[in-house]
Amino acid sequence: MDVTQLRTLIHVAELGSLSKAADRLHIAQPALSRQIRLLEEELGVRLFDRHGRGMIVTEQGQDVLRHALRVMAELEEIRAVVSDENAPLRGHVSIGMPPPASDILSEPLVSAFRDTHPEATLRIVSAYTGYLLDWIHRGEIDAAILYDPRSARTLRIQPLLEETLFLIGPPGLGLSLEQAVEFRALEGQRLLLPSLGHGLRTLVDRYAQECGFSLDIKVEADSYSTLKSLVRHGHGVTVLPLAPIHEELKAGRLGAAPLVNPTPVRRLIMSYPTDRPMPRLARFAGQVIAATIARLVERGVWSGRILEAEPEHSRLHI
């Protein structure tokens, strides 16, 4: 097994074709085929299923691929530590984000990579916090944005934002950002919220319990897009942050009001594993994400309070 074989594995898996990988690497296709075959023989497993349209990574191949990506990232880190600090980086990085954050932050992140590290490859994984936690500990992603990870193991963290949640309703309800609504006013409302186990639902349920009442959940939907559509068509109200509904608010398709006594908030953090080195590309991604959120808060697109960075040795124990 050598670095050339691992690099070939990565490119063939990404492109799904030996011929496309050969064109990208400027290497004859038979040579690449031989590298894959030798790697399969050494490991004693089939890494790809071959078919008429190309090559698909097998389940065991996916396991090998994850390790190959980490090996190549470590090699790139060796080059980086002896290179100019400002020189463009190469390599691959995987960043996880919850769906609402992914919708807002993916484009600025991709633009920053294109402008600063054009030879690097970026993978954005959109999933809920529970999945992201599992994947970050298994090494499938290099870093993740998480919402209040109550079941997290030890993580290296970069605090980002204390996000404020608002009551969201149809335009005719008369909600206004200038007129706060008591949280207790949710009692008896026809509510549309994510299902049990979803972080936002858990948070709203907890606030309601502290106020001494139960929520009347008429429809459960985990998709923010679905919740927005249902509210817009008059099926009830929901509780969401402002950022995912910014365009709807501007266009007058939805209304929003602050909730008070209590004001529901949740923390947004950038998280890195502690059991392996932090790649420079992952650190760069975290810096871009933090700067983007700060700009959005300043513009009023994302409502909340920017959190101060914690000391480098800080760990999150929850």
pLDDT single digits (tens) 5-17: 998 998 898 888 8
Instruction: Tell me what the mean pLDDT of segment 16-22 comes to.
Output: 89
3-state DSSP call for residue 2?
Answer: coil
Residue 197: pLDDT band (50, 70, 90) is confident
Q: What is the pLDDT of residues 220-274, one digit of tens each?
A: 998 899 999 999 999 999 999 999 999 999 999 999 999 999 999 999 999 998 7
Q: Closest Cα to residue 169, out of 185, 148, 146?
A: 185
Q: How far apart are CA 55 and CA 99, in angstroms?
A: 30
Identical fold at 3-66 and 161-266? no
pLDDT at residue 102 above 70?
A: yes
3-state DSSP call for residue 219?
Answer: strand
More confident site: 75 or 227: 227
* Segment among 89-98, 226-235, 263-272, 280-289 with least mean pLDDT: 89-98
Q: How far apart are CA 161 and CA 33, in angstroms?
A: 48
Q: Could you state, in order of their start, the residue ranges of all structural domains in the chain?
A: 3-66, 161-266
pLDDT at residue 314 above 60?
A: no
**pLDDT for residue 170:** 95
| CATH fold of the domain at 3-66 | Arc Repressor Mutant, subunit A (1.10.10)
Q: How far apart are CA 152 and CA 271, in angstroms?
A: 10
Q: Closest Cα to residue 5, out of 53, 61, 58?
A: 61
Q: Which CATH architecture has domain 161-266?
A: 3-Layer(aba) Sandwich (3.40)
Residue 313: pLDDT band (50, 70, 90) is very low
**pLDDT for residue 204:** 94
Bridge partner list, 191: 217, 237
Q: How far apart are CA 263 and CA 124, in angstroms?
A: 31
Q: How far apart are CA 63 and CA 47, in angstroms?
A: 9
In the chain the first and final C-alpha atoms are separated, in Å, by 40
Verdict on whether the full-model pTM lies above 0.75: no
More confident site: 311 or 185: 185
Q: Where do the DSSP E strands lie in 226-306? A: 238-241, 255-260, 265-272, 304-306
More confident site: 204 or 197: 204
Block residue for tokens 């402008």: 115
